[in-house]
Amino acid sequence: MGIKSRAFQGFRDFRYGFNGQEKDDEIKGSGNSVDFGARIYDPRIGRWLSIDPLSHKYPGYSPYSFGLDNPVYFQDADGRVIIDANGNVVTVNQDDKGNITFNPDVAPATKDILGYYLKSDVGKTQLKKMDATVTKITLEVSQQAAFSVDSETGEFELILGITETSGKATEASGEKTFKSAKIIVFAGSIELQSEDNPTLDPNEKYAVYTDDQKVFQEKGSKITKNKNPAIKPDNPGPHQTNMMKDKEYAKEATFIHESEHTTKEQYKTDKTGGDLEQGPIQKEKDLYKERNSPQ
């Protein structure tokens, strides 16, 4: 038997409840279920409807507890953030010496990608940000080369990576962010940019992204039909020059760049019409500075 609500009716349409999570009113009525992503909370009885999916990491606590039984200090935002190539959750662990490891069942391809974030302090910081967010993030390396196309001018420009974001979610702090994000780094683009005299294969198909992130396949002959696409940056900075010389470094820098596109700061910038590349490019520069600073 449900308890009749005595809440002020002016707040009936407010979508968020305990811990800033979204209410699921469809089945049990207004305010009777709160969706934390990894599990559902019933505020009427103060209980979870399933166990914590990461309870194996905390054997000394009940799998039905919240925030290690200390909700004043700990926030349990979601527990499912980075997803590997097989759809498994990636758990990021750090010991007291700062060493970072992952759960043993992470797909090998994803573990290789995560390794790029472990090569620098800048990368480790980005990895921790991805691990802490409620955004569900997937990582991928594509062997294709890819281009963006300007809808007004029709000009093509080589891109090394892209982050496809969708939906809206709420962090434990109450700040809005993306619900999901897919980071793709294009190994074919990195290979093409590293060539002294890059040319497109007229019969090969390349991934082309429009201004609104829609993607289609286009032959090289069509891309070069009207004008040569921009493959190398004009007046490249030192960090860009280094990326053109070292393909592994380029992958590392591109993953770090793209990870910044998944943050709540980028969500806010996107909604306010700000420069979406300023923050990610700064991460590239921070990486270059770290690598080239005197030890």
pLDDT in tens, 199-230: 999 999 999 999 877 899 999 999 988 677 89
Looking at the fold, whether 86 and 50 belong to one and the same domain comes out as no
User: What does the pLDDT read at residue 74?
Assistant: 45
Q: Is residue 140 packed enough to be buried (19+ CB in 10 Å), middle (13-18) or exposed (0-12)? A: middle
Domain-terminating residue out of 76, 103, 124 = 76
pLDDT value at 27 more than 70: no
In a domain, 226, yes or no: yes
User: What letter represents residue 46's amino acid?
Assistant: G
Domain hosting 57: range is: 12-76
pLDDT value at 164 more than 90: yes
Looking at the fold, whether 138 and 179 belong to one and the same domain comes out as yes
Q: How far apart are CA 241 and CA 244, in angstroms?
A: 5
In a domain, 31, yes or no: yes
Looking at the fold, whether 143 and 170 belong to one and the same domain comes out as yes
Which tokens is 37 given?
């992503």
User: What DSSP element (H or E) covers 249?
Assistant: helix 247-260
Looking at the fold, whether 270 and 130 belong to one and the same domain comes out as yes
**In this predicted model, what pLDDT tens digit does every residue of 53-78 receive, in sequence order?**
666 555 555 776 665 555 544 455 55
In a domain, 161, yes or no: yes
Q: Is residue 158 packed enough to be buried (19+ CB in 10 Å), middle (13-18) or exposed (0-12)? A: buried
Q: How far apart are CA 87 and CA 106, in angstroms?
A: 9
User: What does the pLDDT read at residue 156?
Assistant: 93
Looking at the fold, whether 30 and 102 belong to one and the same domain comes out as no
Contacts of 100 (CB under 8 A, 6+ apart): 92, 93, 94, 118, 124, 127
Looking at the fold, whether 41 and 163 belong to one and the same domain comes out as no
Looking at the fold, whether 39 and 145 belong to one and the same domain comes out as no
User: What does the pLDDT read at residue 11?
Assistant: 43
Which tokens is 130 given?
């991805």
**CB of 244 closer than 8 Å to CB of 193:** yes
| Cα→Cα distances 282→63, 65, 116, 157, 285, Å | 41, 40, 17, 20, 5
In a domain, 290, yes or no: no
Number of structural domains, the chain? 2
In a domain, 2, yes or no: no
In a domain, 216, yes or no: yes
Looking at the fold, whether 155 and 41 belong to one and the same domain comes out as no
Q: Could you identify the residue written with the tokens 């979610």?
A: 169
Q: Is residue 216 packed enough to be buried (19+ CB in 10 Å), middle (13-18) or exposed (0-12)? A: exposed
Looking at the fold, whether 104 and 41 belong to one and the same domain comes out as no
Looking at the fold, whether 153 and 202 belong to one and the same domain comes out as yes
User: What does the pLDDT read at residue 6?
Assistant: 41
Check residues 26 and 45 and name the one with the higher pLDDT.
Answer: 45
User: What does the pLDDT read at residue 203?
Assistant: 94
User: What does the pLDDT read at residue 45?
Assistant: 75
pTM for this entry: 0.71
The pair phi, psi for residue 10, each rounded to 5°, is: -65, -20
In a domain, 159, yes or no: yes
Looking at the fold, whether 152 and 272 belong to one and the same domain comes out as yes
User: What does the pLDDT read at residue 104?
Assistant: 83
Looking at the fold, whether 111 and 247 belong to one and the same domain comes out as yes
Q: Which of 37-46, 97-106, 171-180, 244-253 has the highest mean pLDDT?
A: 244-253
